[in-house]
Structure 1
């Protein structure tokens, strides 16, 4: 169910953010996202359609349903805190390996690439999840080498709320949790295939609730570069 190409346009930069460094960061995001296009890729059942539908309508999908055929998504506008985003009409397509051809087209047309993976499955060393992620990134590596324009690549870890270890974490332990994910051999391999630590960004979170979704999406957009 690889997500579609999402052209996004920042409508305005919102003031009133406390702290000069934070405000400056939002200004950079506003500049960086203006006119950028996003491709969201990943295997089935990782949260691609949930992310798209949430961005489109502000709703969460409670029951998983595979995207087998291309589905049209209407133009919409959303606000996440200080971030004002406009989405154009796009398509939600299948996440099967057979859709790699569609993935490539989305990749070539996008400026920002979001690859979504199950955080909980990788942390428990699920072999099928690891293999699929590495296979996907090997495909993407080839597209990166063929591409004449620079892409910003994000590994987005979803479903950390279903990891038993996560539920027992305190706020002071969150950094160690993220470091443990980054240290996984498969994540290091994925990062290497996508261009290395200097260019690949990682964002972890959950799309389980509205608050979690807002946090994850904002975490992603805060890392976008000019």
Structure 2
């Protein structure tokens, strides 16, 4: 199994510091994912791969009851500090079964920028399907296949494990490339029904912070997000 799939040790601190205000996390992915989740008031939501707790924080603020799962001990502590008693956070490797979570016990599952780090995506998607109630939704984001293709400058259809440099220039994380056919094929093959697919752009607020970078990010795909339903 590839190593370094989660933000362990100092990578967890780097991610916590970076994700709060980064263009990709704060101004592209989080707004898109929360919009796809919709009204969560009174709903039981699983934040699968909750990281430092930014999405769980927003979901709890909107009235959801949230359980966050995260494999990095460092990020678990960041999430618990950020969330306090407003959400529960447990340490868990998403490559393993979601033991202790009952069938049909969640109204929705949010999985932000995690799928491409998992070594056993099939098992994970099967477990998500199991813990969702019939009619429940999965909101999921990943790196855009076209952006990966341009970054690594090789075959668009590559499914190789690659190292993605982090903004500090000293660390990297492992991810597996997926083209669109593989990405959607795995989701539909797990039994989900696709309700919406979006290629998120930066929100307007980011233009005020960095107009030049806003224009660059608004004109090329970086991330891919979907909303799916369990029939």
**Structure 1 length as normaliser, TM-score?**
0.41
More helix by share: 1
TM-score normalised over the length of structure 2: 0.40
Structure having greater relative contact order (Cα 8 Å, sep ≥ 6): 1
